[in-house]
Amino acid sequence: MTLSAYQNIRPIPTTEQDATLAQVSSRTLASYIQTQKAYRTIRLVQDEKMGETVAIPEVAFRLLIDILAQMAQGNAVTLIPIHAELTTQEAADILNVSRPYLVELLESGDIPYRKVGTRRRVSYQDLIDYKNRIDAARREALDELVAQAQELNMGY
């Protein structure tokens, strides 16, 4: 896919009616996960008439259930291919930081990027790798603080 296919990556909002339907659908589909088949089949029915049966890969079936579960909770959903390239604003939104701060991370070498003309593009995979690294460092720091608090009998 080209970059333009990813330029408008936006969450898809969930209406209350969608959330209710998604909750029922996700529970129904999740009940079929128990069997050990590589592919699942779903019957598509239109207007109560005979439908068409479609086989989908196991991973796509599980992804569909996850999407429906998120929608059932009223969460907006965004699907981003792992090899997508993001604008600096999209990347900043994913990390929940300002765009100028993200640019500092790029310029310091914390997150790899490439330039397309004068614009910076960030690989989604590189962004997630960075997020996983900083999350692990945060967990490690918190574990150290907890250990110190226990040694000092601080009561929490």
4 pLDDT tier (thresholds 50, 70, 90)? very low
pLDDT digits over 84-119, tens only?
999 999 999 999 999 999 999 999 999 999 999 999
Q: Quick one: pLDDT at residue 5?
A: 44
SS3 track for the chain: CCHHHHCCCCCECCCHHHHHHHHHHHHHHHCCCCCCCCEEEEEECCCCCCCEEEEEEHHHHHHHHHHHHHHHCCCCECCCCCCCEECHHHHHHHHCCCHHHHHHHHHCCCCCCEEECCEEEEEHHHHHHHHHHHHHHHHHHHHHHHHHHHHCCCCC
